[in-house]
Structure 1
Amino acid sequence: MPVYHPFLNFTSSIRLPEYGYVGITDIEKNIINTSYFQRLRRIKQSSNLFMAFPGASHSRFEHSLGAMHIAGEASTHIILNSNNKINSTSIIDLMDSINCKTEIKKQIQLTRLAALLHDIGHAPFSHTFEEFLKQVHPSLDWKHEYLSLEIIHKKFTNLLKESSDSKIEAYEIMALLCDLSPNFRIIANTKRILQEIGVSEEIIARMDTFLETNWYLNHLIKGDPYNVDRLNYLILDSNRTGAKEYGFVDVGRIVQNLYFLREDKIVTVSTHAREAAMRFFEAYSQMHRSIYLHKISQGADVHLSYIMKEAAKESDSVFHKLSNPDMEAILELSDDVMIHELTKVKNEKTRKLVDDYLNRSILSLVHEFDLSDNNKITRIMDSIGSKGLQDEIRKEAGLPDDGVVLVINITSKKVTKPPVDETTLKRLMFYNTKSKKLESLDPDFIRQFYPNKKYRIFAEKGDKEKIKGIISTWI
């Protein structure tokens, strides 16, 4: 029996461990059944988290479905809680207003579709692939978000026209996935990307116009701190790693108390969800410290990125061709295909590292340091940077030129948070529904979750103790 929703017509359902039965509309089912979306089954949510937590073999497919479910709940509540055309938060009143019901139905369906497709452009190995691209092609401006926009534009425009009973256009979904300026216009760089993938200036102008009144739906997908992507992956990853306590978030309490404030131009939660929101920040921090930055899974990420970079040096390898990837090439690939391609490398040293990766003999964490430390390591970093530090360690340890020593900035990784600034703090205020005013959150509470600029040094297991001995004389 399909799941009930007051505005959407669910014609089928799918069971997710984290949420039970999740309703699916016809247009969602049509998208899910495409080969482009089914590809996400073959891309792990976190490429190497399973190396440390064997249960964490879940995929981008599961994450996208979960994000879609939360997006439906979040958009429903934020619309009911905030001002609407008939100035009522009663579902009964809204159901009696046919025009209002139709508009709300479209907004909810649109937000669910944007969440469903937000990761459609992920390449194999997820963010590790993006790290690989940064190494082999530093000047290339490539993100999975850009590829998602291209896939939606080129592969789903006609499908949406043919099967959507909500009259949703592809450009409206794309608008919810774009990076926006403080005044909720699409930023210049994203407009450039849209033009490069064939989106006309007329459609881009429509996207900007659409966002003038629907900016808060974009915030539900991409905003900071409360977005459906983040809310889902904390629940999903903590559950599948077996670390539920670290990632516990009362998502229901948060989404039921979401508000968008037109004058302040922010999305926030009411004071009724203050404790749930504060627990969300704690879970966010704890998951990143204990799970996402686990030395084993991060060592595997660094190891994998390195061997892909080395494989790209061979002109006949798929990794050489992927150093400037196009949409069709990415759509043909999955994690397993890439692993198979890695086994074809010819360089003896690289092939050994591939075998080491497959047998979980990955690069080891040798040392972690903070740039605020005052010792020889930080002085070398200040003088000649991370590559210079790598060379200095290799030289002092008497390692060959192909000895693997990698200095990684873990603060700049996607899993860590940006600095607290005025805009972020404003978004962390709570809305008092009685006084109709915003209440501040103690900045010191938030700042405790923001790390200093930390680095980690990784090396091959056989060289670990020798390098540790050298570092011990430097600190």
Structure 2
Amino acid sequence: MSHSSEMPQKTLKMDHKVFNDPIHGTVELHPLLIKIIDTPQFQRLRNIKQLGGGYFVYPGASHNRFEHSIGVGHLAGQLVEALRTRQPELDIDERDILCVKIAGLCHDLGHGPFSHLFDKMFIPKVPHPPGPLGDKMAKWKHEEASVEMLDHPDKFNNLELEMKNKENGLTDDDLNFIKKLIEGLKDPNAVQWPYNGRPKEKSFLYEIVANKTNGIDVDKFDYFARDFYHLGMKSTFDHLRFIQFARVIKVKKDGLNHICSRDKEVGNLYDMFYTRNCIYRRACQHKVNKIIEYMIAEAFVKADGHIKIEGSGGKEFTLSTAIGDMEAYTKLTDHVFEQILHSSSAELAEAKKILKRIISRDHYRFLGETKPRQVPTRDVYRLWKEELAEAVSEEGDGDVKLKPEDFVVLVATFDYGMKDKDPIKNVYFYNKRYPDTALNIPKDQVSKLLPECFSEQLIRVYSKKTDGQSVDAARRHLHQWCKNK
């Protein structure tokens, strides 16, 4: 595991505070970052699991978005300060560095309970009301919520005044810059530079926290190192080497300044994307983890209208509509799991029953998986469930009776971060002899052993009935059904 202690140590400023992090070693934070950490909006991240339901599968995966966010803020500072030291001509100033650190620290403020489970598995399943809130739910992403947290009615616990005071010297443009760093550039190739936070010459700063061009950013650097550490696994990617060799070069193709890496580091970057695929395959998309997350989301859907959260002006919100009010959303963490589990309310009985099955390890049973030629639609899933239930009934497996709703069909996707594309195609490199010329490296010039395909899907089928007879019958007929198909 790499530690920041390998980096040159700076003299500690007396007004800064130091954290001891298991991943990065000594982490030194600016006093403004400390004040952000001490807000309720940031402290809630202590109670949001980094890997969602992964803690129910991996006992070590108890880490939260809180420590990950501190790590990202730290790495964002390391990368931008390394660029300033190496290339003074970039004109990176103290305000740039402070803004990049704040963006790294605040990039995950908007995560809901159990992280991606909330925005990818729960919110899409609940009914979306008509009007602005329904539109918001339809395109809900945690990055947008992170920006909304910064725009909270009380201005993030009045920290806007703190940011703009004489000592910190941030402006409205700086605050807009921070928000855009969190969101990432969606259209960097616009005819006119559309971002008023920083001029076009500093476009490379937008690639540090959320790199939408190729996915190489400090957010991934931290969660690769941190997730592998807590999962008890080893990572071959070394983010400190990337920081050491990072260099900003103007690219002729789009006229923008991009963060580039040494040509000899191309293998290390393929390792990075392979590392991402490993985390998803072995943890995020683990077959038991995914069904547990499905069950949690299922319980949340059943509990949605019966959980009341007080928001701004004393108005009450539900589990799903809390995304429309940041005061209510701030109160929403993983604790809602225990709230449902220990409730005596009749209205929450169905949801409670599902969560009790998780706690007692009576989760829906995995029956089998297959690689499809193409990802089917939801209508096809429904047809599959009907065919499976009918096959079990027709064969007459004793007293086993299965209905379509007794089956769950999930799709697991594995890729290198850019769907079916080779992510290195969007990475720029430089040669030792020509350090100011950006170039692409074709895959066939890297290694013949690299994958030809960068994305695949698995269709997984589970049974809600967990008695041995039902599971055996369902598994047997699934196997035969897959062969017939």
Give, as a single letter, the amino acid of the residue that structure 2 aligns with 1:70: L
Q: Is the 8 A contact 2:411 2:458 kept in 1?
A: yes
Please give the residue correspondences for 1:7-406 in structure 2 after superposition, counting only pairs within 5 Å.
11-82=16-87, 84=89, 100=91, 103-130=92-119, 131-137=121-127, 140-154=138-152, 155=156, 156-162=159-165, 165-167=168-170, 169-183=174-188, 207-208=195-196, 210=198, 212-223=200-211, 224-243=214-233, 245=234, 247-264=235-252, 265=256, 266-312=258-304, 315-318=305-308, 321-324=318-321, 325-326=323-324, 327-344=326-343, 346=347, 349-372=350-373, 381=376, 384-397=379-392, 403-406=405-408
**DSSP-derived class of the 1:473 partner:** helix
Structure 1 CA distance for aligned equivalents of residues 240 and 15 of structure 2: 20
Q: Is the 8 A contact 2:68 2:223 kept in 1?
A: yes
Structure 2 CA distance for aligned equivalents of residues 360 and 416 of structure 1: 32
Structure 2 CA distance for aligned equivalents of residues 316 and 186 of structure 1: 49
Structure 1 CA distance for aligned equivalents of residues 166 and 359 of structure 2: 43
Shift of 1:186: 12
Q: Is the 8 A contact 1:234 1:283 kept in 2?
A: yes
Shift of 1:316: 2.7
**DSSP-derived class of the 2:208 partner:** helix
Structure 1 CA distance for aligned equivalents of residues 357 and 100 of structure 2: 43
Aligned position for 2:478: 471
Shift of 1:8: 7.8
Q: Say if 1:321 and 1:347 are closer, same or farther in 2 by CA, change over 3 A.
A: closer
Q: Is the 8 A contact 2:46 2:66 kept in 1?
A: yes
Give, as a single letter, the amino acid of the residue that structure 2 aligns with 1:450: F
Shift of 1:284: 2.0
Structure 2 CA distance for aligned equivalents of residues 342 and 360 of structure 1: 14
Identity %: 21
Give, as a single letter, the amino acid of the residue that structure 2 aligns with 1:19: H
Structure 2 CA distance for aligned equivalents of residues 23 and 291 of structure 1: 30
Give, as a single letter, the amino acid of the residue that structure 2 aligns with 1:389: W
Q: Say if 1:161 and 1:290 are closer, same or farther in 2 by CA, change over 3 A.
A: same
Q: Say if 1:458 and 1:166 are closer, same or farther in 2 by CA, change over 3 A.
A: farther
Aligned position for 2:313: none
Give, as a single letter, the amino acid of the residue that structure 1 aligns with 2:412: I
Q: Is the 8 A contact 1:268 1:427 kept in 2?
A: no
Q: Say if 1:383 and 1:402 are closer, same or farther in 2 by CA, change over 3 A.
A: closer
Structure 2 CA distance for aligned equivalents of residues 452 and 364 of structure 1: 23
Q: Say if 1:38 and 1:348 are closer, same or farther in 2 by CA, change over 3 A.
A: closer
Give, as a single letter, the amino acid of the residue that structure 1 aligns with 2:477: I
Q: Say if 1:8 and 1:470 are closer, same or farther in 2 by CA, change over 3 A.
A: farther
**DSSP-derived class of the 1:454 partner:** strand
**DSSP-derived class of the 2:151 partner:** helix
Structure 2 CA distance for aligned equivalents of residues 165 and 356 of structure 1: 51
Structure 1 CA distance for aligned equivalents of residues 190 and 319 of structure 2: 32
Shift of 1:239: 0.2
Shift of 1:416: 6.3
Q: Say if 1:180 and 1:404 are closer, same or farther in 2 by CA, change over 3 A.
A: farther
Structure 1 CA distance for aligned equivalents of residues 64 and 438 of structure 2: 41
Give, as a single letter, the amino acid of the residue that structure 2 aligns with 1:118: H
Aligned position for 2:397: none
Q: Say if 1:437 and 1:60 are closer, same or farther in 2 by CA, change over 3 A.
A: closer
Q: Is the 8 A contact 1:282 1:449 kept in 2?
A: no
Give, as a single letter, the amino acid of the residue that structure 2 aligns with 1:405: F
Q: Say if 1:78 and 1:307 are closer, same or farther in 2 by CA, change over 3 A.
A: same
Structure 1 CA distance for aligned equivalents of residues 15 and 207 of structure 2: 25
Q: Is the 8 A contact 2:392 2:402 kept in 1?
A: no
Q: Is the 8 A contact 1:394 1:400 kept in 2?
A: yes
Shift of 1:65: 0.8
Moved more, 252-261 or 116-125: 252-261
Q: Say if 1:163 and 1:35 are closer, same or farther in 2 by CA, change over 3 A.
A: farther
Structure 2 CA distance for aligned equivalents of residues 104 and 7 of structure 1: 19
Answer yes or no: is 1:418 the counterpart of 2:379. no
Moved more, 24-33 or 75-84: 75-84
**DSSP-derived class of the 1:453 partner:** strand
In structure 1, list runs of 5 or more residues that go unmatched.
Answer: 86-99, 188-204
Aligned length, in residue pairs? 427
TM-score by length of 1: 0.80
Q: Is the 8 A contact 2:106 2:146 kept in 1?
A: yes
**DSSP-derived class of the 2:20 partner:** strand
Q: Is the 8 A contact 1:39 1:331 kept in 2?
A: yes
Aligned position for 1:93: none
Structure 2 CA distance for aligned equivalents of residues 469 and 299 of structure 1: 20
**CA RMSD, Structure 1 to Structure 2 (Å):** 3.2
Give, as a single letter, the amino acid of the residue that structure 2 aligns with 1:107: D
Q: Say if 1:432 and 1:213 are closer, same or farther in 2 by CA, change over 3 A.
A: same
Aligned position for 2:411: 409
Q: Is the 8 A contact 1:123 1:333 kept in 2?
A: yes
Structure 1 CA distance for aligned equivalents of residues 359 and 303 of structure 2: 15
